Each structure stands twice: as structure tokens, then as C-alpha cells.
Structure 1
Amino acid sequence: MANIEQRGENSYRFTVYLPKDAKGRYPKERMTYTVEGKYTPKQLQEHLDHEYLKFKAEVLSGNYVRPEAMTFSTFIKEWDKKYASKLAKTTHGNHVRKLDLHILPEIGHMEMSQINEFILMKLLDGLQRKDGQDGELSFHSKRDVYRTLKSIFKYAVKWKVLSQNPMDGVEKPKAKDTEEEYQDLQVYDEDEIAQLMEIIQNELPHWRAMFTLALAAGMRRGELLGLQWNDIDFDNNQITIHTTIVLTKGGPHIKRTKTRSSKRTVTLPLSMMEELRTYQKHHKNTREDSGERWIETEYDWVFCQFNGEHMYPSSPSNRWAKMLQKHNFRYIRLHDLRHTSASLLIAQGIHAKIISERLGHSDISVTMNTYGHAFKSADRAAAEKMESIFLKK
């Protein structure tokens, strides 16, 4: 009997026969294998022979686990090795965090064949915060867990571990109300920004410049850390954003911005450019004073440590939180300065397309979906302004 049988256009069945058992029978193990990619007939045969021998070695060594008996934890190791680990480090890290915190503790022990729609819906409905605070996970974070599960079970079906995808019957988490949908987007109003600017003036030059730039340009933390001096065009009052420094499971990682639209040029207010000029002078003096301690030679970071190397990704957020606590000022995340920047532009009637380009969104729909609440408020303000014009008649 053939050990490799074709079952469909790209589907093959491998069969491995084991030694005779106590009842005089020859047990066998079978696996369905799907060929991906294009091969010549000779290449295809060599590929199938190679994969069959791998399967046979697993069976004969006792390490083979039938798909129907595979636990979720075991499958995750395969999913990570064959797919997730090849994603961008930040994307991979996000998947790993969701698995470690919210998914594996709940269903890691279960066999893949036992996991159904009801179990997955219960998992999503019961998600709780794991940051030391009580309460449900925000709907934004629930959606992140949902996306991780979607990816996992998509590949479980693709690799023939499951015949049906249990996530097909699970709806994407929705906000309970409009306020919940936008509660993660905390922003400062104009009065708070005026107070914040006074507080920032008391900070060291690099923190003062960084926090002000975060607001003026709507930059992400990683983009601020990835900014170099040659990215600043002092003649045209612009900065070019193309590099980001992010924290992954393996430590800080320098990379190009994620999408083509993330690489962008942003025009800054004159006051911001003056702030950067002042900080540049301070930066040069610091570098000269550091002498041999300055060891960075490849990059010319705008915001860096005493030796010229980039800051650790969590440092700005830590300093931001300490500054607000010291002055007893309402806390929002450093990332929320980006949302505050967008909200200010919306309130000023700036077109969504311009805001989308400044923020580096992949599409204007991302801007509209993220800041829909602010656009609605601006629309009401526009109506009230129009009403005041009509009342003058």
C-alpha cells in the first residue's frame, strides 16, 4: 500500500505502519498534508518524500500527536514556529502577551477538538484586566484578543488540525455604549494644555522638547525615540518620520515605520521649531561634555541617553507619569497626547484627510473610526456657529 496518496489537487495523505502489536495487527498513523507553492513534478516528489520522512520520524519516536488529540498549548507552539514568529516583532509580541495573559490560562489545557463557539464566547465575555487594577478588559483590548484567536483558528483549519473554525460563530466584541468606545481616548482640553505647557517648562530640556513635540506633531512614543537630527528640516519647519523604536519580548527594537503612510513629513509650528533649536544647542553641549562616554556612532538620536544611545522605550512614559504625579495633574497616557493633538485639529475644523496624513494613518477611515466622537462634537459646534450667524439677521 502506498505511503503517500494524493487525495485532492494539493492534498496528500501520509501513512506510517508501526510494528506488529500483541494482537498480531499492524497499527498505522495517518496525516493529511497540504502542499503550498509551485513545484515541478520532480521537486514535488522530493518535497513530499522529505515531509513524509519527517512525519515518519515523529511517529516512530513517539512524539507524534494526532491533530484531534492535540492540546491548544501544543498547537500554539506550532502556530508560533510556522507563522507568528515570522511577523513583525511588535505584532508577534502583542500576540504572545494576549496568549500568556488571557488565553492560555483559560483554554491551554484543552484539546483543539473540544474548543467550540460557546467556550470562546465565554472566554471573551469574561476577560478581566491583568494590570493590577480590577474590572473588565476594555473593548479595545478584547478586540485584540479576538484578533489573536481568529488568527490561531484560521491556521488550525488551514493545517487540517480542525475541519471547522469555531471562531466563525463568534462575533467581534462591541462597545456597550458610545462612551465605552471612546473612553480609552482620553484627551486634555485647551485649558489643561495651557497648564500642561507651564508644567513642562520645569522639565529637563530633552523631556520638555519631547513632550511638546508629542503634542505638536501627534507622534507615537516609538517615533519620538526614533527621530534623528537629520530628520529635522529647520529651513522648512518640518520633520520626517520614518523610524520607530519599540519594546519587544527580546528587548528594544529599531525598525522602519510599519506602513508606507506611517513614513511621513509633518510641518510644525514656529514655536516648536524654536524649542527644537534651543534643545539642539543643549544637546551639542551635552555631547561635547560626555567626551569618551559618548559611544553611539551609527545613529544621531534627538532624544538619547548620556552616552548617545537611544532611550529605553518605557523611559518616556515613566517620566511622564512621574511629572504628572508630582504636580497633581490629571493623568492620561503619554500616547494620549497624540489623541489630544488630533482632537485639537478636529476642533479647529482641519480636514480629516490632513489629520490622517499627520498621524500616519493607513487610511482616512482609520481616522474617522478612531475620532468619530470628536468629529461629531465638531459638527455640533459648527451647527451652533451657523445658528449664531442666522440669529444676527
Structure 2
Amino acid sequence: MRGHIAKKGNKYYIVIDLDRDEVTGKRKQKWLSGYDRKRDAEKALPNVLSDFMKGTFVEPSKKTFGEIMKSWLEDKKTSVKHGTWKSYEWLVNSHIIPNLGNVQVTKLKPQHLHDLYHKTLIDKLSVGSIKKAHVLILDALNRAVIWGMISQNVAQYVDLPQGKKKKFEVWNEDQLRVFLDAASKDQYYMAFELAASTGMRQSEILALRRVDVDLQTKTASVRQAYTLAEVGHDFDDTKNDSSVRSIALFVDTVKLLESHFRHQDRERETNPLYNDSGLVIQTSVGTPLGPRNLMRHFYRIMEAIVKDDSDFPKIRFHDLRHTHATLLLKAGIHPKIVQERLGHSSINVTLDTYSHVLPNLQESVLKNIGDSITGTRIPTPKTTLID
């Protein structure tokens, strides 16, 4: 197999002489990409010939990186949940394409992505979001390799920025009590109680059905999650297999649920507009409650508390889940039990998330063992009174 450089117009081309056509006997040629300079074409020729002979040659794609990402994003629409896809769409259309969309995909270099992560996005996004953007780019370019658009995935050579793990704020027992007291008259108090006493995710609370709550055994079974759909909402599978779980309920929570269910029964019987959806948490007319509506109530209650006490810490609704776990660990509950209640995929996730809490537990644990590893205790010296 031979090749040479040919000029056409203002461009230089690599021309590969292929085998003659078996039918016509005519010589076949492959003209590849126009180069601006003859020396660039001459430099590339040996590698192109080598790839042709090995059968690994990939014809350069004329698509831009932006076109690759748009095509990948559109195909992802049918393979992930809508809420997940919306987060992908935001990263791709708001941060990836505006910065690198016009670069021809065959000319995309590791430095392009390095500068995107370390210079452009570092002041706009969290390190976690940058890492997520990188995962999307990796997947899109991997597909481009498989489909023969590019010969290699340059994203695999890029180092990601490092940052401190985002800290979350939690309430102590007194602060949680203040919030729950203030929320006790709210229409959606039961949602706040479940978040604080079970550690369930917001999506799990909004999808919890009455049939999944057993007041006799004092358990709530998490079976589904509230998710956004293209139009309205949907009830889908939980985050992962370990998220499907049964959670033991506190006695007080059971009593509150009994009262809550009686109130729902009265509403169903007396309100002709009531359309019961069978959920534990639902609107005044029985329909599923959306997360935005719940958030409005949550922040309104918290702002009222802060108005009277400026030192009261502001937290997110999701931090009620962290508060639940932290209070259990502080009370000496084994991390394995906390993992099961939260539905973490492994105990390592629990230990990593709440590692800042665990060292504080060591002192109390050692006190329970004794004054030495064998469990013995050092006698306290008697004091002698001298007149």
C-alpha cells in the first residue's frame, strides 16, 4: 500500500492507493482531509499508512464536539430517568457546548478539556458537578470511538480538579425539636416528621403509600420514588436496589401517622373534590404533592423561626436526612443500622458521609468498655481528710 500528497485548491491531501476494483479493474484511491500545510500532510502520512495496513484506520469525522454531545444527549433521553436527563441537559447545553461545542471532534485535545475543567468551570460549578460533566464527556466520546468517528477518547487522559467535600449542616436535638414544634400546625407536618425520624429521601416520602405503612409492626416500606416526568410527575423505582427497604418507626411517629390517617379519612368522606391517590403525603384534595410545594412550606417555617432567633441555623430539606443519621450515630447506634435505615448501597458510603461524627463517638465507647482493652477498671484512689 502506498500513498502520496496531492494539492487541490489551497489544501493538501493524503491520497492512499488502494487495491484495484475486482469488477472494473480500476485503481481505487482514498483522499483524506485537507491540510493547510504540505509538511503537516507529509508528517501524518506514515501514521495513516500504518493504520490502513493494520486495519485500525478511522476516517476523521467532520462533526463538531457540540454535535457529538447533542446526539449523545438525545439518545440518553430514552435510557435514563427524566430528572436525571434534565441534569445532563443542563450540563451539556449550559456548560459543555457553549465552551467547546465549535471544536471539530477530531481536533479535540486533552488540553481543551483540562482548561474547561480547571479554568472555565472551576469558578462556576462545584467540583462534583465538574466530575459529572467529565463522566458525560467520557461516555459520549467512548461512543464516538465505537461508532468509528474518532480513533481515541482524549478525555481519559485528563486529570480532574480536586476540592473539599461539600459539608452539610445538621440540627441538634433541641434545634430539631424547635423546628418540629413550629411545623406541627402545618399541612405537611407529617412529611417533616418522616424526614427527621426515618431519614427517608424527599422523593421516597412523596411516593410513600399508605399500604406500605404497617402501624401494627411499626414499619414503613420504601418501594418507589417520586420523579419528574416530561409532563407532570411519575412514580419510579428507588435510587438503587438497597433503597428498597423497611424502616422501623418510632412510637411517636406511629401515633402521628394514626392521627394523620384519620384526618385523611375524614377529608375523603366529607370533601366531594377529594381524589385520594393513596399516598401518605398528598394535597388537600388528595393528589400527589410536588417537591416545590413542599419546599415552600419547609422554608416558610424555617424563616419564621430565624426571624425570632437569628442564630438558628438554616439547612436544606435533605439535611433532615443527615440530621437523622447524625443523631442516631451520636446516640451510639451502630453504623450498619444507620446504613440500612438510609438505604445506602454499602456501609462504606455511610462511614464516608458521616466520618466527621464517628471520631466523637470513640470516647464514649471506650468508657463503656472500661479503663483498659481487657475491660478492667482502675480503682479510684480514696481521699483522706486531715483535720
Give TM-score scaled by structure 2 length. Answer: 0.74
Residue 173 and residue 359 in structure 1: after superposition, are their counterparts in 2 closer, same or farther (change >3 A)? farther
CA RMSD, aligned part only? 2.9
Distance 1:199 1:151, change over 3 A: same
Given the alignment, which residue of 304, 322, 327 partners 1:326?
304
Which residue of 1 is the match for residue 270 of structure 2?
Answer: 289
* SS of 2:178 mapped into structure 1: helix
Q: Distance in 1 between matches of 2:162 and 2:230?
A: 29
Structure 2's unaligned 5+ residue stretches are: 1-26, 33-58, 307-311, 381-387
2:114 equivalent to 1:121: yes
Distance 1:200 1:158, change over 3 A: same
Given residue 300 of structure 1, which amino acid in structure 2 is its aligned partner? G
Supply the distance in 2 between the matched residues of 1:388 and 1:182 (Cα, whole angstroms).
Answer: 37
Partner of residue 244 from structure 2, selected from 238, 248, 263: 263
8 Å Cα contact 2:281/2:288 also seen in 1:
yes
Which residue pairs with 2:172 in the alignment?
189
Percent identity, aligned pairs only, is 26
2:204 aligned partner, one-letter code: E
- Which of the numbers 362, 369, 375 marks the counterpart of 1:379? 362
CA distance in 1, matches of 2:363, 2:152: 47
The answer on whether the counterparts of 2:267 and 2:274 sit within 8 Å (CA) in structure 1 is no
Question: Which structure 1 residue ranges, 5 or more long, are not aligned?
Answer: 1-24, 31-65, 130-134
The separation in 1 between residues aligned to 2:268 and 2:66, in whole angstroms, is 50
Quote the residue 1:85 is aligned against: 78
Counterpart contact for 1:117–1:169, Cα < 8 Å: yes
Q: Which residue of 2 aligns with 1:359?
A: 342
Q: For structure 1, which segment, 165-174 or 351-360, has the greater mean C-alpha deviation from structure 2 after superposition?
A: 165-174
Q: Return the index of the structure with the highest Cα Rg.
A: 2
Which residue is equivalent to 1:6?
A: none
Once residues 165 and 110 of structure 2 are traced to their aligned partners in structure 1, the CA distance between those partners, rounded to angstroms, is: 25
Instruction: Give the C-alpha shift of residue 314 in structure 1.
Output: 2.0
CA 1:270–1:163 in structure 2 vs 1: closer, same or farther (change >3 Å)? same
SS in 2 for 1:110: coil
Structure 2 match to 1:307: 285
Are the aligned partners of 2:204 and 2:222 in contact in 1 as well (CA < 8 Å)?
yes
Compared with structure 1, are the counterparts of its residues 127 and 362 closer, same or farther at alpha carbon in structure 2 (3 Å cutoff)? farther
C-alpha displacement of 1:196: 1.7
- Between the aligned partners of 2:251 and 2:113, the Cα distance in structure 1 is 53
Which residue pairs with 2:321 in the alignment? 338
Paired amino acid for 1:317: M
Matches within 5 A, 1:136-175: 136-175=124-163
Cα pair 1:182 1:373 within 8 Å, conserved: no
Distance 1:351 1:251, change over 3 A: same
Instruction: Give 1:5's aligned residue.
Output: none
Deviates more, 1:70-79 or 1:120-129: 120-129
Q: What does the per-residue CA deviation read over 1:7-52, in whole Å, with 9 as the maximum and x for residues that have no partner?
A: xxxxxxxxxxxxxxxxxx999899xxxxxxxxxxxxxxxxxxxxxx
Change (3 A) 1:380 1:27: farther
The count of corresponding residues between Structure 1 and Structure 2 is 320
Give 1:249 deviation, angstroms: 4.9
Q: Secondary structure at the match of 1:246?
A: strand
State whether residues 219 and 338 of structure 1, in contact with CA within 8 Å, keep that contact through their aligned partners in structure 2: yes
- Deviation per residue, 1:193-230 (Å, 9 max, x gap): 122222222323xx111101101110111111101111
- Give the TM-score normalised by structure 1: 0.73
Q: Which amino acid aligns with 1:372?
A: S
Pair 1:102 & 2:95 matched: yes
Structure 1 range deviating more: 319-328 or 270-279: 319-328
CA separation in 1, counterparts of 2:74 and 2:138? 17
